[in-house]
Structure 1
């Protein structure tokens, strides 16, 4: 990482000033409240071990709420605490999130309504790697193709990290900050401060996270260290309660060492700009207008010498991606294929220093209006996005791909009765991709369709809500599916020419029960995917891959129950299961996580609280060997395991909270099923999974003022 890192001193200074600010002991002013907020979202008195469900279909939670395992270093780490999520692991940070066994652009991840796309052709810098969860106020997950408001192709779901508008009724300053210390020399600092009055505000956010390599349950060191920082600011104008204009900007950078890749990430530079406008209570029918625009830039460098010693490599673990150099060229310091950074076995020699630099520039905008009638609400609008991918050669930056998307959408909510609500939506998108590599067609374009309809029914004689919805969406192949494979379907020499768009039809059903002592929810799905995009890898040379279209059947679900045993004791349980089959050959789909259960027991009395968490994972024998996606493949069945963690917390006063915990208390030696094989440069043998951290102690201080 370059020398222009975010210094520790600004965060530390801000946190020190908090204890001396004259407003520290004053009561907080009024806050804007998210329409879906519930008390549990912002209640930090007890650690959360399963995400609270606003409804079975939509989960809303606060990323600022303490979590176990140890608080997350990036967006993917945080998402895996929500039932149904897992991640493809490759070391200590920057894993790739998977929801219900679905990966990549099937799961859209947004920050403040915009999308941050990474540049690495093997997703070393997945979109979630640029997200620091604690710097956001709310996280919203909509499961399945049950919304059309946020872009095309979201067949698995839509994740939205949001920063809420600070509201002041007088001149004031408020904020929160935290410090974390953990095993393996992990240190995190976060600060989020807002100052303003009824006319506007200035919000400043900074965070830094770093850790050394961790040790697994066998006390073996796992290459996994990282160091990253982010700094963001927002300037808002609120002339009245119904008008809001915000300008925001941010930067970040980092580095990460990967046990499961041939290269490490030595730069994760981020630049972000954005504007949001909202006008409410416009008229009796036309109620609200909102508009936003954003610019996100990722500048990524990967190499094999900044965070490891190439001279000791010998035979390396080869690539899961092949001749990307054909599509992208080589950098000034890299004369071999860019495929060298991925994670499977190969005999290719990599003792020479090598590096590669790529970037992606994403710009987008969106506007939407809301119309209200006595029993109906219509949300309708349009959005667009353009992103351009480049790689750096000896003679400068060279474009290899440009994606453009223009969409229109509408969602209608009809409150038919006090107990029944019907929600439906439709979306139409025009997508075009320009290929500048000169190795295939120069462009592709398509028209994508999406729609859904859902009914929600609440019983009158008991606190139970039921829903059922059918959704359909089409997803155009993303950058990694068009430009990373060696071949397309049937051995076609170009994946760009021949990989088809996916079409997903899915039924979602669920229920939620909420009483004084018992809360429970369940959400289930079954679907059919036409032209599911699947990667196949040559077992003799995993640098050779083929992207193919197959048909697939998917099903599964999540469930959660919490029960208040006494005034002080509460239990929490969640269950998640995914199943998928390649119906083209009657074999399992690859990269499907196994059954997972979480059992939590919490105690709270006064200012003290404590929680124990048991995470149980079953074995996974339904695999498709040498098949997967652009990041990972199935290479072996995996055994089940159980991990126990515990924490305790004390509220010093209404402003300060201290929490401490231990993850993997019994120092279990285990690895996740979704995992990259370890790299031989670190001594791993072929198809050996990267183990998870062993016993990890941590302590955290949260301050609010």
Structure 2
């Protein structure tokens, strides 16, 4: 059996030989149910105080729930959770969008600190993280995420692993996972081994994933796009050209544990090679080295009872290779350190204060020198206080002040000569309340004022980016983005029955985003005629007044529970409306109204889930964008749990888009040339020993 961990149900995610072993093992399997041990979640990201009753809107995935949702990218894995959609750039590239906000407004963390990459710069840049190495994902939506910076104004997504063991381990345990199938014939597997003597603990893991081109139910280009393409352009049908890829990597970590804490270090490496779906002859080769150190000390004497320290250094590089030759090399390296100290109660207040320091240097060298080499330095102080006024009412307040310095260097490129150094002081504050109306109903609300400094690419972009088919132009005089945000939710929880209904509203001053100008240009930003080879869509970063508002619904109800059999009905729906306040025009890449209805059935070791997803058409798009149509997809997951000797097993079959619909996400920048996959079936096997 896998040892229990207090912070997560550890996913059995790692490498195993394939179908022959699955069939032979099932034939010999003992017909014994493996119970799912319920473990209360500890929201590392949402609240450093470790409260179970959280004021902020949050979601979490771990254990079998995470394993059965796993997709080829972080964004696609989380897509469909309340308020969460995804950017896509082919099947392997997807970054989470929360409440219509993406890019630098969504903070991606690994174990609470940053792992630098280039995914926020451009939609074709993948998040260098394989979901098979993750044991838990936490999502914080809305203003409560400000403790992690102004660039968390939309929310925080934190992936958590056990590469630095946080609890004592005795003996050796392991986990393996393998799967095959899907619309791109993904062959994926991973392995993990952990051990220890009660004091010293170690962790080793490895993963590998390889895919073919994604199969689709029709033309790669949408009908509207084909009309614009003209009759002479070849039209791919049945699959998306250049959508294949390979990812592999691994990690090693160790820690020393004691009764009141732990301290440890880890290293992980990541390699990827995948195609750009916008350019048939462009490949992206990615490499990341990530070193982390972490420690937590509990039951301290003096004014602070607990101290937590996290540090990470990342060295990231990816090359965009055009027809076999490296066109541009993107590099990002730097560190982030975070210290949180929980103080003893001050009167009725329970809280924590912290310090966060970071510095990273980003460069884009070569034919597509999109931005100058830029060093960004950030120093921040933050704090969170909670007050349990009564058994029914809890109040919280958080604040953060940060200084951001961005220092560009032209590197001899004339178009970046004179790029000004920029300094920003950004302050944010939030307040929230949780009121229990009775033992099962509660009301939660948050309000926040947030400031975000613009990033290097919003300030200094000036160059072609063939992988996305764009010529990007920044605004070196851009000012801070400022927003007032609020959300309110009504929650219900009674045993297995849970529900939440929430609304949110955010109003921005100087909301910075890409806008297509409607011009086609060449690599020198000179206008060209439609149909010209290598023509690029010109896009500029522009600040506008903007507002976002919407609704999020989420609920699960147990309709049958006989002991031997169980049937749950669940429902998720969300809607986001985003517009330019000055013109009334829609903001780009906003998901439409979506709804998911699911049935979960369990009988002994057998399980089945049927999921019906409907997304309405999105006609509210900017002037130079094309609308997307509606779609309805059907998914089915069948599972079987069993024991074989001393090992626990989970076998599963997952069918997706069984209706073989043409699915084009409104949130995808390549939606009109690369739809989502068609009908697919995947088989998988997990085990723990």
Q: TM-score range by the shorter chain?
A: 0.7 to 0.9
1:507 correspondence with 2:486: yes
Q: Measure, in 1, the Cα distance between the counterparts of 2:500 and 2:280.
A: 43
Partner of 1:90: 89
Alpha-carbon spacing, 1:498–1:486, altered in 2? closer, same or farther (3 Å):
farther
Query: In the TM superposition, what are the counterparts of 1:68-217 in structure 2 within 5 Å?
Result: 71-119=70-118, 122-124=121-123, 126=125, 129-164=127-162, 166=165, 171-183=170-182, 184-217=184-217
Q: Measure, in 1, the Cα distance between the counterparts of 2:611 and 2:18.
A: 34
Q: Measure, in 2, the Cα distance between the counterparts of 1:84 and 1:555.
A: 11
Residue deviations 1:525-568 (CA, integer Å, cap 9, x gap): 11210000132223131443322111011101211111111122
SS in 1 for 2:588: coil
1:253 corresponds, among 242, 255, 271, to 271
1:62 correspondence with 2:56: no
Partner of 2:426: 448
Residue deviations 1:460-484 (CA, integer Å, cap 9, x gap): 3x40121111111111112331232
**Paired residues of 1:260 and 1:676 also in contact (CA < 8 A):** no
Q: How much has 1:675 moved relative to structure 2?
A: 2.5
Partner of 1:365: 337
SS in 1 for 2:476: helix
Partner of 2:542: 548
SS in 1 for 2:149: coil
Give aligned pairs, total.
Answer: 600
2:306 corresponds, among 288, 293, 304, to 288
Instruction: Give the TM-score taking structure 2 as reference length.
Output: 0.81
1:666 correspondence with 2:659: yes
Q: Measure, in 2, the Cα distance between the counterparts of 1:597 and 1:590.
A: 21
**Paired residues of 2:150 and 2:451 also in contact (CA < 8 A):** yes
Q: Measure, in 1, the Cα distance between the counterparts of 2:688 and 2:389.
A: 43
Q: Measure, in 2, the Cα distance between the counterparts of 1:67 and 1:246.
A: 27
SS in 1 for 2:112: coil
Partner of 2:447: 470
Q: Measure, in 1, the Cα distance between the counterparts of 2:270 and 2:634.
A: 34
Q: Measure, in 1, the Cα distance between the counterparts of 2:302 and 2:605.
A: 47
Alpha-carbon spacing, 1:645–1:14, altered in 2? closer, same or farther (3 Å):
closer
Q: How much has 1:32 moved relative to structure 2?
A: 10
What is the root-mean-square deviation in Å for CA atoms of aligned residues?
3.1
Q: How much has 1:298 moved relative to structure 2?
A: 1.1
Q: How much has 1:56 moved relative to structure 2?
A: 6.6
Alpha-carbon spacing, 1:450–1:55, altered in 2? closer, same or farther (3 Å):
closer
Q: Measure, in 2, the Cα distance between the counterparts of 1:554 and 1:190.
A: 40
SS in 2 for 1:220: strand
1:302 correspondence with 2:317: no
Structure 1, unmatched stretches of 5+, are 1-9, 20-24, 38-51, 307-332, 334-353, 488-492, 627-634, 679-687
1:409 corresponds, among 352, 361, 382, to 382
Q: How much has 1:368 moved relative to structure 2?
A: 1.4
Q: Measure, in 1, the Cα distance between the counterparts of 2:82 and 2:63.
A: 15
Alpha-carbon spacing, 1:404–1:245, altered in 2? closer, same or farther (3 Å):
same
Alpha-carbon spacing, 1:36–1:155, altered in 2? closer, same or farther (3 Å):
closer
1:675 corresponds, among 651, 668, 674, to 668
Partner of 2:232: none
**Paired residues of 1:64 and 1:137 also in contact (CA < 8 A):** no
Partner of 2:678: 694
**Paired residues of 2:307 and 2:339 also in contact (CA < 8 A):** yes
Alpha-carbon spacing, 1:134–1:275, altered in 2? closer, same or farther (3 Å):
same
Q: Measure, in 2, the Cα distance between the counterparts of 1:282 and 1:194.
A: 29
1:531 correspondence with 2:510: yes
Q: Measure, in 1, the Cα distance between the counterparts of 2:602 and 2:354.
A: 46
Instruction: Give the TM-score taking structure 1 as reference length.
Output: 0.79
Q: How much has 1:63 moved relative to structure 2?
A: 6.4
Residue deviations 1:341-396 (CA, integer Å, cap 9, x gap): xxxxxxxxxxxxx62212110211111110132742121011111110123459x9
Residue deviations 1:183-208 (CA, integer Å, cap 9, x gap): 43311102222101220210112111
SS in 2 for 1:102: coil
Alpha-carbon spacing, 1:503–1:169, altered in 2? closer, same or farther (3 Å):
closer
Mean Cα displacement is larger for which, 100-109 or 517-526?
A: 517-526
Partner of 2:556: 562
Alpha-carbon spacing, 1:496–1:439, altered in 2? closer, same or farther (3 Å):
farther
Q: Measure, in 1, the Cα distance between the counterparts of 2:608 and 2:556.
A: 16
Structure 2, unmatched stretches of 5+, are 1-13, 26-31, 45-51, 219-236, 411-415, 465-471, 521-535
**Paired residues of 2:327 and 2:366 also in contact (CA < 8 A):** no
